[in-house]
Structure 1
Amino acid sequence: MSELLPTLPTGYRARPASAEDLGAVHRLVAVCERDLYGRAQTDTGGVAADFARPGLVPESDTLLVHGPDGRLAAHAWVDRRSKVDVHPGHRGRGLGAALLDWAEARARQAGGGQIVQTVPDGDTAAVALLRSRGYEPMVTEWQLEFGLAGGAAPAVPEPPEGIAVRPFRPGGAAGESDARAAHRLVQDAFDEWQPRRMAYEEWARHTVERPAFAPAMSVLAHVGGQLVGAAIALDLPDTNEGYLEQVAVRRDHRNRGIARLLLRHAFRAFQQQGRRSCTLWTHSDTGALALYLRVGMTIRHSSTVHRKSLVPARPPV
């Protein structure tokens, strides 16, 4: 267990998280999302994938805070990035500041040169806390949506010449082949902006191995048997919404309308399942916002990735 335990208000106690806590953490995150957005937009699989990040050691890199009533009041984890959530009923008591201090101390202990945290722009108190602690904005993220309720089926354009589109094949050797090919495509496409390539096992925990993975709504584009585009979909429980975890097109096939084609296929597939909308996240480093707006999506929320250097500044010579 980590020796870096924060100083908490009277009646609160902290301990590391374990696999048995995933359900409770998910419920806490969902409550925070409903308070901020009016709806929950996460699932247990996403929480599990975060807790399984390579290098993250639950005994030292996670923390749960329980209140005087024994219920989970806040949680945090840190591993290059960090995340802190405080239950709305326990805010204003210093828990967020205490967990932020803990995350920074743990990152320093682990030898990290910086710490990064994403905060919704609508959470003005959290933004103010980060800025007061020396965090600087780094990247803007947007959640976009395409409404599907009560309208005509989304139009799907004809594929460009030579492009064949089909759903992801579920299970077995065929599904494994699709998953491996999609992983390579996504990592190659995201090399331009992501700080590191994900190994297959880590990527799969966020996508094809999540309970919410929706192969029938995930769309692949091929040219001559080679994968050139992919939209990886999740059917998130309790949201009545579809979600696109990743959309990628091979660099030498961009600007051919493949991304628009994949998106429209996914939108139609989710509408046929009775979903009210389809959402995805993108950020300013990808340069994809204009594409999503052109295809008919609108911005629902924005967040900012904040970064703080943990390396002391050198004194002037």
Structure 2
Amino acid sequence: MDFRTRPATLADAPAIHAIIAANEQAWHAQVQSVPDAVAADLQRPLITLDLDTRVVTTPDGDIAAWAWVHGGRRSQVDVHPSYAGRGLGTELVGWVEDRSREHHSERVAQTVDDADEAGTTLLRSRGYEVLATNWLLERPVDGDAPVLPQGVTLRPFAEDDAQAVYKVVQDAFDDWQPRRHPYEEWAGTSIERSSFNAALSPVAVAGDEVVGAVISLDLPDSPDGYVDQLAVRSDFRGRGLARALLTYAALEMGRQGRQTLTLWTHSGTGALAMYERLGMKVRRSSTVYRTEL
């Protein structure tokens, strides 16, 4: 087949998400990804579409595979299962590495679903090594009402909370994320997305200060509720606030007809044990691979 390659456009986002969803359906019999995630990623500040993205198209114009590079350090490559085994992944990984070198990056990382045997084999064959693990966790949406630390109340996210929630989230993630995201980037990939659900995103308040928050997104093709971010201010940690925030979100998800609360956590945060103590269990996992350039 005569495949062609070109930069991605925002108009390609639904077709690109369809590739991601088709793989999730094949590997796990369920779609977990959020449809507007691709568009949000393509609009990140460090992405120049003409330079940092590629889609592979068929003669009919269908998108068979895609790739992007973010800042020369992070990347993603996805091939539709209908076009697996034709060398498209190999071609795009090679492009990713070349583009990362153009960014003067010394290394580049890519996350691969642990059910993706072909993707794992490809990266291993090119010398990629394990950097970190991501786990998709789940918990029921029923249970008792949240128990709060003294002086703390919970309520749904309001528009005026945006800057305060941003600060709590960024402060909480500073210990492990490679860079502090500007407000515009954080908002564009969270509260400004069409999938953001304020009713399922509790904010913890002590006095007139935000001390914790959950950011939840809708998964239209899944029975799950999804927590994208959970953060607690450092001086309120160890007091049961994370459990209370998750419990509040879970109960609200249940009222909206969701069956399970889910969230991803990264081994770099060291939070897996905490989530397990909160009653969450691992559903599936992915691995972050990195290579030196």
Which of these residues, 257, 260, 268, is aligned with residue 274 of structure 1? 257
| Residue 51 of structure 1 pairs with residue 34 of structure 2 | no
Offset of residue 23 of structure 1: 1.4
Matched residue type, 1:267: A
State the alpha-carbon separation in 1 of the partners of residues 147 and 235 from structure 2: 20
Which of these residues, 121, 129, 132, is aligned with residue 114 of structure 2? 121
- Contact 2:79 2:89 (C-alpha < 8 Å) held by counterparts: yes
State the alpha-carbon separation in 1 of the partners of residues 288 and 281 from structure 2: 20
Offset of residue 73 of structure 1: 0.6
- Contact 1:45 1:206 (C-alpha < 8 Å) held by counterparts: no
Which of these residues, 142, 162, 172, is aligned with residue 151 of structure 2? 162
Which of these residues, 220, 226, 229, is aligned with residue 243 of structure 1? 226
Matched residue type, 1:33: E
Instruction: Map Cα deviations across residues 136-159 of structure 1 (whole Å, 9 max, x no partner).
Output: 1111110011234xxxx3222321
Query: What secondary structure sits across from 1:160 in the alignment?
Result: coil
State the alpha-carbon separation in 1 of the partners of residues 291 and 280 from structure 2: 32
- Contact 2:34 2:218 (C-alpha < 8 Å) held by counterparts: no
State the alpha-carbon separation in 2 of the partners of residues 59 and 181 from structure 1: 35
Structure 2 gaps, min length 5: none
Query: What secondary structure sits across from 1:103 in the alignment?
Result: helix
Which of these residues, 298, 304, 308, is aligned with residue 281 of structure 2? 298
- The structure with the largest alpha-carbon Rg is 1
Match of 2:11 in 1: 20
Q: CA RMSD in A?
A: 1.2
State the alpha-carbon separation in 1 of the partners of residues 260 and 162 from structure 2: 25
| Residue 37 of structure 1 pairs with residue 20 of structure 2 | no
Instruction: Map Cα deviations across residues 39-61 of structure 1 (whole Å, 9 max, x no partner).
Output: 11223321111111222110011
Aligned-residue identity in percent = 49
Matched residue type, 2:268: D
Offset of residue 67 of structure 1: 2.2
Query: How many positions carry a matched residue from both structures?
Result: 291
Matched residue type, 2:270: G
Match of 1:5 in 2: none
State the alpha-carbon separation in 1 of the partners of residues 262 and 228 from structure 2: 9
Query: What secondary structure sits across from 1:236 in the alignment?
Result: coil
Query: What secondary structure sits across from 1:210 in the alignment?
Result: coil
Which of these residues, 67, 77, 101, is aligned with residue 84 of structure 1? 77
Which of these residues, 82, 98, 104, is aligned with residue 105 of structure 1? 98
Query: What secondary structure sits across from 1:304 in the alignment?
Result: strand
Match of 2:207 in 1: 224
After superposing on structure 2, the runs of 4+ consecutive aligned residues of structure 1 that deviate more than 6 Å are none
Instruction: Map Cα deviations across residues 54-101 of structure 1 (whole Å, 9 max, x no partner).
Output: 221100111110124432110110122100000101111111111000
Matched residue type, 1:106: R
Which of these residues, 7, 11, 18, is aligned with residue 2 of structure 2? 11
Matched residue type, 1:156: A
State the alpha-carbon separation in 2 of the partners of residues 78 and 158 from structure 1: 43
Offset of residue 191 of structure 1: 0.6
Match of 1:131 in 2: 124
State the alpha-carbon separation in 2 of the partners of residues 147 and 93 from structure 1: 41
Query: What secondary structure sits across from 1:141 in the alignment?
Result: strand
Query: What secondary structure sits across from 2:85 in the alignment?
Result: coil
Matched residue type, 2:275: Y
| Residue 182 of structure 1 pairs with residue 165 of structure 2 | yes
